[in-house]
Amino acid sequence: MSESIHQAVRENYGRLAEAGGACCGSDSACTSPQLYDEAQWASLPKEAAELSLGCGDPVTIAGLRPGEHVLDLGSGGGIDCFLAAEQVGPAGHVIGVDMTPAMLERARATRDRLGLTQVEFRQGQLEALPVADETIDVILSNCVISLVPDKGAAFREAFRVLKVGGRISVSDIVTGGEFSAELRADLNRWTECVSGAVPLTDYLAGLSRAGFVEITVVSQVDASDIVPVQEGMPPLFSVRIRARKQNKN
């Protein structure tokens, strides 16, 4: 199942990258400026804003500081990497990881046009990050872990690459209940950030099992205007969560 999910996700986001983007699925409307505040949105390069496929703003709640090293999990067209680059400045470093080649191509083209030498994009999967241990101050992720079949592996990898005391800031889709087995197996719904979503309690437990502490749900809003919902689905929410890798005693 994992490989067929990866393949379906890669195909969907490859198509969106080539077409210019229309959110998590063909009939949903995830691309919306109201995910970010007006000043942030106005500061974005047009080609990154056009390929905004997230479900919230994980950057603002991350409290980035100049010089910090940032990793964006599932960076897509690079929108959150470009926002982060502005905040960490030329002394900082931003890595975007994504498994879809066409997304990486788009993100790198924008980065090159902007001349952002502190931003790089690497091909890889969240379940096996191409990033060294304990090298990252802040992890961002926007509407991606809900797409990952092995969420436990993604949380463990995030924990591995963070420095002690480092923090994670995610925006994602979660549920208020379980999907039927039939919906869970629907790959189209999965690629739309829907049927791969898990209950909020499971998501928080996954972070905790990986070792994260100070896990905080910063916001939780109904997601029915962000992802496509249909009858028989559990309630869907867009949440923003922050957590930390505890300092060693």
Instruction: Please identify, using beta-carbon distances, which residue of 148 and 243 lies nearer to ligand SAM.
Output: 148
- Report 194-223 residues binding ligand SAM (CB under 6 A): none
Q: Which of 25, 36, 40, 53 binds ligand SAM (CB under 6 A)?
A: 53
Q: Which one of the spans 50-58, 60-68, 177-185, 211-219 is the region binding ligand SAM (CB under 6 A)?
A: 50-58
Establish if 226 lies at the interface with ligand SAM (CB under 6 A): no
Secondary structure percentages of the chain, helix, strand, coil, to 5: 35, 25, 40
The total of other beta-carbon atoms located within 10 Å of residue 193's CB is 30
Shortest Å distance, C-beta 76 to ligand SAM:
3
Establish if 236 lies at the interface with ligand SAM (CB under 6 A): no
- String marking each residue 54-93 x if it binds ligand SAM according to CB under 6 A: x-------------------xxxx-xx-------------
Establish if 99 lies at the interface with ligand SAM (CB under 6 A): yes
Using CA of residue 99, residue 238, residue 63, residue 167, what is the dihedral sign?
negative
- Report 113-142 residues binding ligand SAM (CB under 6 A): 125-127, 142
Establish if 98 lies at the interface with ligand SAM (CB under 6 A): yes
User: At 232, phi and psi to the nearest 5?
Assistant: 90, -5
CA distance 179 to 197: 9
Is 119 exposed, middle or buried, given 0-12, 13-18 or 19+ CB atoms closer than 10 A? buried
- Asked whether the beta carbons of 13 and 156 are under 8 A apart, the reply is no
CA distance 161 to 83: 21
Contact residues for ligand SAM (CB under 6 A)?
Answer: 9, 13, 24, 52-54, 74-77, 79-80, 98-100, 103, 125-127, 142-144, 147-148, 193
